[in-house]
Amino acid sequence: SKLTIFIAVALAEIWRATAIMMVILVAGMGLIPREYYEAAEVFGASPWKRFIKITLPLLRPSLQTAIILRVILAFEVFAVVAALGGTNLPVLMGETYNWQFTLQDRNVAAAMALFILAISIGFTLFFLRVLRVPKEARI
């Protein structure tokens, strides 16, 4: 059924993206100076305050990279869907593929590809703006 295919694709996508996301975030955590945490402990900051005031702001560049990469990978879900569900679960890239190779209409396929490009650029610019790191806040 479509629900089973959807769950299988979602689990495969989570599995595919988790490793690279963890590598990026752990590398970002490694860049945060230990002295910041020590100073926060001296001043009596709770673990939650240290996370909110130190870890999260200094992890923004890594979060930015990880989220943008994940958005781009989300548009590549066609391969996973094709491998697990065939044509039973339509996705945007799959529809583009169908227009190009099944229906033989490369004009519509090209328009859809440009639309997908515009969406991915829009998401990228949105996350660049939301997770913007001021120059003075960079390590």
pLDDT value at residue 139 = 58
Residue 34 in tokens: 């230990």
How does pLDDT run across 53-73, given as a tens digit for each residue? Answer: 999 989 988 998 898 898 888
How does pLDDT run across 69-106, given as a tens digit for each residue? Answer: 988 888 787 777 777 767 667 777 878 888 888 888 89
Q: How many domains does the chain have?
A: 1
Q: Which domain holds residue 129?
A: 2-137
- pTM for the whole structure: 0.74
